[in-house]
Structure formats: structure tokens, C-alpha cells
Amino acid sequence: MDFRKSDYESYDYSKFWEDDRRLYEDKSERMALRRLIAGIGGENKIFFDIGCGYGRLFNEYKDFETIILIDYSLNNLKNARERIERFLKNTPGKLASVYFIAADATSLPVKSDCADIILTVRVVHHLDNPEKYFDEIVRILKNKGLFFLEFANKRNLKNILRFFVRKMDTSPFNLKPSQIGETILNFHPDYISDILKKRNFTIKKSISVSNFRLNLLKKFPGTKTLLFFEKFYQKFFSFVLLGPSIFLKSVLDGKGPEDIGRNKITGLEDILICIYCGKTSLILNKSMIQCKNCGRIFACEDGIYNFKKKD
Ligand SMILES: C[S@@+](CC[C@H](N)C(=O)[O-])C[C@H]1O[C@@H](n2cnc3c(N)ncnc32)[C@H](O)[C@@H]1O
């Protein structure tokens, strides 16, 4: 598989967020996510966090009935599982409805039309084929399902100013994604909105996030003050998408009858498919999953089902 060179297997991603200088971004993202999730009841809902990392945002969506965390990195998933186990130590029953799956976001081992809500934060910039990922989202999301997407915004205020004083060559107004270094793609908001509209999504809410992300400002006036202004900006000026990070809430239309929140699942068998033959004929046990149709075996280690393709 041809991946952008982001290697999360030999890197502890949680360290990135332990740095105090990231507190502002972490809190700004949670602020936005809370606004997107507010008012959606968790009962009977199947919630997917695709590219979940080490489960940083789990406590923001912990109330959904079934939670599926998917990531390509086994290392991140192991950390996510340990972290969530600690978090749920007083409600051990809840852990039984939280599942951990290693898989590629552009080839998901998930049945069509089974997700009520999908969240993806800080991931699309890593993908070699973002279009394929969006096709997968449409495939697994139910009609009227919700899609919460965060993407890095190339048309942010800092880039616009840098472009006008000629400190940046590539125009932030150009719709084409920009490559930053070796591993990151930044997107124009109109580029993402085109992708979504072409796939029958209606964007319900856009939030401009981390609007005051400047190291200098983090020192003075400091994170607390920045977060005060951030809250104000997110609430009243979010339609001006000038922040470095954008959160979108979209709803999927035109896929047939609405069945949000109707399906209860009894186990992973109800939602998984074989990534090789696409069939639902999977038999699960604690240490592996086998496809009855094509015979492929997928290992399960430390509670993580491994659906990464081997060829
Ligand atoms: C910057 S981290 C973000 C993690 C988490 N969403 C957060 O905001 O804390 C990007 C994550 O995307 C995962 N990732 C990158 N490419 C992926 C792919 N093709 N399929 C699934 N996950 C992928 C990485 O392993 C990593 O955990």
C-alpha cells in the first residue's frame, strides 16, 4: 500500500498532545466538536471515529451506544484501548460496546449503510486518495446519517497574509490541495464542499477552529485568553472560514429510507465485512475472525481486530 509517509507505528502520538503548547488547539477542537454533537441523543446510535489515533476525543462522544474506533496504526489503537479502558474503569459494561479495528480508511471492513454518525479529525490530510475515503464514508453511512469532518484549511488568514507579502509562493485561493512537507495536504474549503456536494451531502454547519493559533499569542495574552476569544469567534464568526482548521457537520441525503438510530447491534459480526471478498460471512472469536466465504483470517490481539490488507 502506498501511504503518505506518516508513520504512527514508531511514534507515540499522545506525546504531541501532552505538550502544553497544544492545549489551545485541543480545547478549541473540543469546543467545536461539542457544538456539532450537541442535541444528538446517543441511544441506539452507531458512532464511528475513523482515524481515531489514541482515542484523544473519546470522552466527547462516549455517550453514543455503540462506538467503533478505526485507525491504520496498531500502535495508536493499542494506546486508545488502554486509555479508554482506564477512562471507563467505573463503567466496565460500556467497554463491551466499544470496538477497536485496524483498517485503512479508504477500504473499510464495514457493511454498507450501517453508520449513524462518522467523525474524522486530522486525518484526510494524510490520505493518498481522499476521494476514495469520501466514497467509503458515503457507502457505510445511513441515509440522513451525520458526518463530522475536520480538515486543514489552506485558505487561512495567516496564509493569505503571507501570500500578499510574498512570503508564500502558492496561492491560498487556488482550489487544488497544497502539499505541506512530505506528509500533509491542506485543502481549500470550496474543494471539500464540492466533494461533499457531489456525494449528496448537505453541509449543515461549518466552524472555523484554532483561529488564534500563533505561538506568540500563546505566550501573551496566553491560552486562557485565546480560548475566550476562540469561543466568541466560533460562535459568531464561524461563517468566515479563516482558521487553520475547519469542522463541518454534513448530512447525507438520497440513499433511500431513513433508518437512523433504528438498528441495535449485538456484536461486530453485525457490521463487519471481509475486505477481500466483501461478504458479510465473518465468524468471530476472541483471537481471530475468519471469512466463511473466502477463508481469509484476520487476527485479534489485545482486543484489536486487524483488517489491514496484507497484499
Ligand atoms: C494526526 S492523527 C489524528 C488522530 C485523531 N483523529 C485525533 O484528532 O487525535 C492521524 C491519524 O490518522 C491515522 N491514519 C492515517 N492514514 C490512515 C488511513 N489510511 N486509514 C486509517 N487511519 C489512518 C493515523 O494512524 C493517525 O492515528
By three-state DSSP, how is residue 141 classified? strand
Residue 169 has pLDDT above 80, yes or no: yes
Q: Is the pLDDT of residue 236 over 90?
A: yes
- Side-chain half-sphere exposure of 109, counting CA atoms within 13 A: 34
- State whether the beta carbon of 121 lies less than 6 angstroms from ligand 1: yes
Confidence category of residue 2, pLDDT binned at 50, 70, 90: very low
Instruction: Give the separation between CA 183 and CA 200, rounded to whole angstroms.
Output: 29
**Distance from the CA of 75 to the center of ligand 1, in angstroms?**
11
According to the model, what pLDDT value does residue 42 have?
Answer: 85
* Whether the Cβ atoms of residue 130 and residue 124 lie closer than 8 Å to each other: yes
Residue nearest to atom 13 of ligand 1 (CA): 51
Position 309 scores a pLDDT of: 86
Instruction: List the residue whose alpha carbon is closest to atom 25 of ligand 1.
Output: 73
261 has a pLDDT exceeding 80: no
The Å distance, Cα 78 to ligand 1 centre, comes to 13
Best mutation site among 71, 124, 148 for ligand 1 pocket (most ligand atoms within 8 Å of CB):
71
State residue 198 phi and psi, 5-degree precision: -60, -25
Among 190, 148, 150, smallest CA distance to 173 is for 190
Beta strands 245-252 and 201-209: pairing type?
antiparallel
- % of the chain exceeding 70 in pLDDT: 96
Highest mean pLDDT among 27-31, 213-217, 305-309: 27-31
CA of 257 to the centre of ligand 1 (A): 32
Mean pLDDT of the 7-17 span: 90
Would you state the pLDDT for residue 305?
Answer: 95
Q: How confident is the model at residue 311 (pLDDT cuts 50, 70, 90)?
A: low
The CA distance from 65 to 47, in Å, is 8
213 lines ligand 1 (CB under 6 A): no
Provide the angle, in degrees to the nearest 10, between the axes of the packed helices 130-140 and 189-198: 40
Q: Which residues of 180-214 are buried (b: 16+ CB within 10 A; e: fewer)?
A: eeeeebbbbbebbbebbeebebebeebbbbbbbbe
3-state helix/strand/coil string of 166-201: CCCCCCCCCCCCEEECCCEEEECHHHHHHHHHHCCE
Mean pLDDT, the chain, whole residue set:
93
- For ligand 1, is residue 109 a contact (CB within 6 Å)? no
Q: Which CATH superfamily is domain 13-268 in?
A: Vaccinia Virus protein VP39 (3.40.50.150)
Tell me how long the chain is.
311
Please state the rounded mean pLDDT for residues 142-153: 97
pTM score, two decimals?
A: 0.95
Q: Residue 258: which pLDDT band, with cuts at 50, 70 and 90?
A: low
Mutate to test the pocket of ligand 1, among 27, 118, 123, 246 (most ligand atoms within 8 A of CB): 123
Tell the burial category of 62 from Cβ atoms under 10 Å away from its Cβ (0-12, 13-18, 19+): middle
Atom of ligand 1 minimally distant from the CA of 76: 27
